[in-house]
Each structure stands twice: as structure tokens, then as C-alpha cells.
Amino acid sequence: MSDTNTPQMVKVREKKTIFLHWFNATCWLLLLLSGFGMISGDFVRLAPAFWPEFMQGLFNGNDNLVWVHAIVGLAWVAVFVLFVLLNFKSVVWPFLKNVLVLTPMAALRDTWSMVVTLAHLFGIMKNTQVPPQGRYNGAQRLLGTMIIFCSLLLAASGAYLFFGPMVFSFADDALCGAIFRWALVAHAASVFLVLVGLVAHIYFAVVEERESLEAMKSGNISVDFIKHHNELWYDELKREGKV
């Protein structure tokens, strides 16, 4: 912790990025609530039977609920596409370079950091240090990579699930129907994968690292926090003269 009363703060995030994060979170919440309500049959439904019944009753039929889900989903995709197009060089590309785990070595390194971090949480491996981390730690990088790929799959499969039956004749080409069925599987599987990671993401933000949650509102974070959690990033900021 800082030895002064007012810790030195550094701006690490712009307003538009903060907006995108909370817009994404709101869309996810709405899409989860509506999506879990849309899938009805006992063999395939994702939530207990009362939820589809409640949601479809609330929206006066599943066709209305499907429309709500599709509109929110399309808005989610549209805002992301717009954001990427307008901020590719300034925000998106640097983010991708920092967060994407693309090589087996990087995956191993990040998995090790994540294991140690999680072990510390449960009071084990206390004598093992978490290796120095960059702007995003191992767990964040793995989660971020998974969310990026799952989001692409969700957008593609979601678009096919909504537009596929309008555009293609499933009766004429059996493959179109088969793609629809597998798109449904891919859509549900991606949601579950993201949810698994999201539990940890929310826990760390709300319970363990409140300062990082504050940084997702204000865009500023204390230099001490960076120094403590993201040593490699701190060195980088120092080299750039930002701290």
C-alpha cells in the first residue's frame, strides 16, 4: 500500500472502453435471461423448466422472446463491430496483443500463473510466488482469449439460428438443417464456457480486488496496485515515463 494518503493514480482506460465493458455486461445479462427462457423442450432446455415457462409467459409467447433475444444480440454485435472499426489501432489491437494466448508456451505459462493465484485463494501453495504479470495476468489472458473466441462463435451461430431459417430452405438442403442443429449446440456450449470463467471474473472484481472494479468505472488505478499485481506492466509504464 502507498505510504501517502493520496495514492498516485494513473489513467489506464478511456471512457469508451468502460462503456463497452458495461454495455457488454448488460447485453450478456439480457441475453442470458432471454436465452435460457427460449429453449423449451425437456431434452434440450438449459434452465429448470419453470424459467422458460415464466419468460415465455412474461413475453406473451416464445416468438416475442426470440425477437427480444435477437434484437439485443444484433445490437451487441453491431456495437462491437463499430467499436472495433473505430478504435482498432488505438484500443483493440493493443488489447488483443496483450490478452490473446496463442502459443502452447504462453498457455502453459498463463495456466501456471492461474493455478498459483487460485491456489493462494484456497490457502494452498503459499510459498510459491505468482510469476511477474503483464497488464493482464495469466487467468485474465486465458479468460479473455476464451471469451473472444466464444463471442465470435456466439455471434456466428446466433446469426445462423435467427436468419438461417429465413434465408435457407431446410427441406431442400438437409445440410442447412444439420448446421442449424449444431449451431444450437455451439451456441449453448459457448455460453456455458463463458459463464464458467465469468464466475471467477465477477468474484475477483467484487470480493478480492475492489480497486480493479473501481478502475472499470473511473478508468484510473493506483500505481501501487499495478506495481503489486502487474509488475511487468509497471516496468513498461516506467520505461514509457507514464508513472
Partner 1 sequence: MVAKYVMLADTVRCIDCKACVISCRAEWETPMGYSRDWVKQVEFIKANGMPEVMLFPGRCQHCDEAPCIEACPSGAAYKREDGMVLQDDAICSGCELCVPACPYDARWLNPKTNTISKCTFCQPRVDKGLEPACVQTCVGRALIFGNINDPNSEVSRLLAEKEWVKLTTDEVNIGPNHYYYTAGEAIPAEVMPKLHDRHLAGKVMENVVNPAGVIGVGGMVLAFLGAGVMKLIGRRNEVGTHENQEGK
Contact set with partner 1 (CB under 8 A): 38-46, 52, 56, 61-63, 66, 121-123, 161, 164-165, 169-172, 177-178, 180-182, 184-185, 188-189, 191-193, 195-196, 199-200, 203, 207-208
Per DSSP, the three-state class of 9 is strand
We find the least distance from the C-beta atom of residue 162 to partner 1, in angstroms, to be 9
Pick between residue 91 and residue 115 the one whose CB is nearest to partner 1: 115
Residue in 193, 202, 232, 243 with CA at minimum distance from that of residue 2:
243
Query: Given its phi and psi angles, is residue 123 left (phi above 0), alpha (psi -120 to 50 degrees) or beta?
Result: left
Nearer to partner 1, 13 or 120 (CB): 120
Q: Closer CB to partner 1, residue 1 or residue 199?
A: 199
What nine digits make up the cell of 94? 493493443
Nearer to partner 1 by Cβ, of 27 and 193: the residue is 193
Distance separating alpha carbons of residues 45 and 48, to the nearest angstrom: 8
Q: How far apart are CA 97 and CA 101, in angstroms?
A: 9
Q: Smallest distance from the beta carbon of 174 to partner 1, in angstroms? A: 8
* Nearest distance in Å: CB 160, partner 1: 11
Smallest gap, in angstroms, from Cβ of residue 61 to partner 1?
A: 8
Amino acid identity for residue 122 in this structure: F
In angstroms and rounded to an integer, the radius of gyration of the C-alpha atoms of the chain is 21
The residue type found at 121 is L
Q: Is the dihedral of CA 157, 38, 148, 114 positive or negative?
A: negative
**Min. distance of Cβ 75 from partner 1 in angstroms?**
21
Number of CB atoms found within 10 A of residue 56's CB: 18
In the bound state with partner 1, the residue whose beta carbon lies nearer, of 162 and 234, is: 162
Minimum CB distance to partner 1, residue 7 (Å): 22
CB of 193 to partner 1, least distance (A): 8
Residue placing its CB nearer to partner 1 in the complex, 38 or 130 = 38
Question: In 122-173, which ranges are continuous DSSP H helix?
Answer: 138-167
C-alpha cell at 32: 442470458
Count of Cβ atoms closer than 10 Å to residue 136 Cβ: 20
Nearer to partner 1, 56 or 230 (CB): 56
